[in-house]
Amino acid sequence: MTDTVPTYPFARPTALDPPAEWEQLRSECPVSKVRMVTGDEALLITRYNDVRELLADPRFTHSLTEAGAAQISTSEDGIFNRDEATMTAGPNHQRWRRMMNKSFTVKRVNAMRPRIAEIANQLIDELIAGGQPGDLQSALGFPLPVFVICELLGVDPNYRDKFSHWSDAMLNLDKFSQAETAKAAMEFQEFMVQHVLDKRAAPGDDLLSELAAIVDSQDGRMTEAELVYTAQGLLVAGHETTANMIGKMVAMLLADRPNRWDRLVADRGLINPAVEETLRLDASSSIDLPRYISEDIEIAGCPIKAGTTVMASLSSGNRDETVYDDAAELRLDRVPNPHLAFGAGPHSCLGQALARTELQVTLTVLLDRLPTLELAVPVEELRRRTGLIVGGIEEVPVRW
């Protein structure tokens, strides 16, 4: 018997180019069966308006703990199948969200700009000292967001190699075995429980100390278990996604230097729209976002039964020709750019102002320090990171 249901995520022709399937599905089959790496079936939606509408629907969440939900990862303990995922998915979500929002307002993240620039400058000093060619991803992309989120949370950045491993395990698709992810989840849990205890003993001027005080007030806003889960979630979300995006953003801008990088060197006013445009055209975000459909609905005229898992392709939606003029083209001055890279609706990324700021500041410092930056390998040779729920580029070799 031939299995005609395609495996998801789709293979990419190169690290920066989208799979051909997206365009075909948008025009011919906007609600399409796909097979996850676990063998479970799900439905993939690929059009901008369908994705946006589903994500905005408060009835459906990312929690895949129901018995009939598709399993996304070959191991347990991932971010979508832990019981605690219901804390950020159910009716308590808005209360939790509003409590967290205060640490991620534009005012708060703007106040972090000088420190982010300082970290970027130090990391670029080290990249330069290491000689040419250097790997921008390991020298700058990975460490910068870890330092930033560690300072915000009040966690020691010297543990960053461990965080990186624990995050990868929590974001596993099929890279790790069950034993590996279980061990990582246990270590991460132990670390964070102990860390919260330490924060209580010696509070600092940081988010975890603040949240520990909220738990201690016992006013029902947050429990100890929710605090530990929140801390883990913020640490994972706060570094892995932005880390990968730094490498992808720089690679995209260097892939056509004269029309992209050189224009930015000449006109810093393009930095913010350029960041948004690279977010829109990011073709390596792996699986995008799941939604568990808990009651019958219709999407693009197709009836969808309760109990179905739908994968909402942000990256395909972001290339929808019916929404964007010259959708496949990277335009540095595309304004407004209502892309879906951070999702949409009530669960749209909590840390998006921080992520935007990190990307804007990193790009600004790179343009100042290394205006002659260029890829040290042909763009076709860049390799994608696969096997995780998030996607990126393994190495971004550069010269300057």
Partner 1 sequence: MVTRIELDEPKCIAAGQCVMTAPDVFDQRDEDGVAIILEPVPAPEHLDAVRDAVAVCPAAALQLIET
Single out the segment in contact with partner 1 by CB under 8 A; choices: 212-220, 234-242, 263-271, 351-359.
351-359
Element (H, E) at 397: strand 397-399
| Out of 125, 335, 371, 380, the residue judged to bind partner 1 by CB under 8 A | 335
Residue 338 in the binding site for partner 1 (CB under 8 A) = yes
Q: 10 Å Cβ neighbour count for 166?
A: 24
Residue by residue, what is the 3-state secondary structure of 242-272? HHHHHHHHHHHHHHCCCCCHHHHHHCHHHHH
Residue 343 in the binding site for partner 1 (CB under 8 A) = yes
CB 304 within 8 A of CB 298: yes
Residue 326 in the binding site for partner 1 (CB under 8 A) = no
Residue 36 to residues 1, 71, 283, 300, Cα–Cα distance (Å): 18, 8, 18, 22
| Out of 1, 3, 28, 98, the residue judged to bind partner 1 by CB under 8 A | 98
Binding mask 109-138 for partner 1 (x = CB under 8 A): x-----------------------------
For residue 295 the two structure tokens come to: 């009651």
Single out the segment in contact with partner 1 by CB under 8 A; choices: 168-176, 308-316, 350-358, 379-387.
350-358
Side-by-side strand order, sheet with 397-399: 134-135, 397-399, 374-375
Residue 213 in the binding site for partner 1 (CB under 8 A) = no
| Out of 13, 39, 114, 346, the residue judged to bind partner 1 by CB under 8 A | 346
| Out of 297, 353, 375, 390, the residue judged to bind partner 1 by CB under 8 A | 353
Q: 10 Å Cβ neighbour count for 396?
A: 27
Q: Count residues near partner 1 (CB under 8 A).
A: 27
Closest distance between partner 1 and the C-beta of residue 55, in Å?
9
Omega of the bond leading into 338 within 30 degrees of 0 (cis): no
Single out the segment in contact with partner 1 by CB under 8 A; choices: 104-112, 160-168, 291-299, 315-323.
104-112
Spatial CB neighbours of 309, under 8 Å, sequence gap ≥ 6: 40, 42, 43, 64, 69, 70, 290, 291, 292, 293
Give the Cα separation of 117 and 352 in Å (integer). 18
Single out the segment in contact with partner 1 by CB under 8 A; choices: 76-84, 212-220, 340-348, 376-384.
340-348
Give the Cα separation of 381 and 363 in Å (integer). 23
| Out of 107, 131, 158, 202, the residue judged to bind partner 1 by CB under 8 A | 107
Closest distance between partner 1 and the C-beta of residue 289, in Å?
13
Give the Cα separation of 338 and 318 in Å (integer). 9
Cα angle 212, 172, 156; round to 5: 35
Residue 92 in the binding site for partner 1 (CB under 8 A) = no
Residue closer to partner 1 by CB (options 96, 163) is: 96
Residue 337 in the binding site for partner 1 (CB under 8 A) = yes
Binding mask 271-290 for partner 1 (x = CB under 8 A): -x------------------
Residue closer to partner 1 by CB (options 86, 348) is: 348
| Out of 29, 56, 112, 302, the residue judged to bind partner 1 by CB under 8 A | 56
Closest CA to 84 of 188, 194, 239: 188
Residues that bind partner 1 (CB under 8 A): 56, 94, 97-99, 101-102, 104-107, 109, 272, 335-338, 342-346, 348-349, 352-353, 356
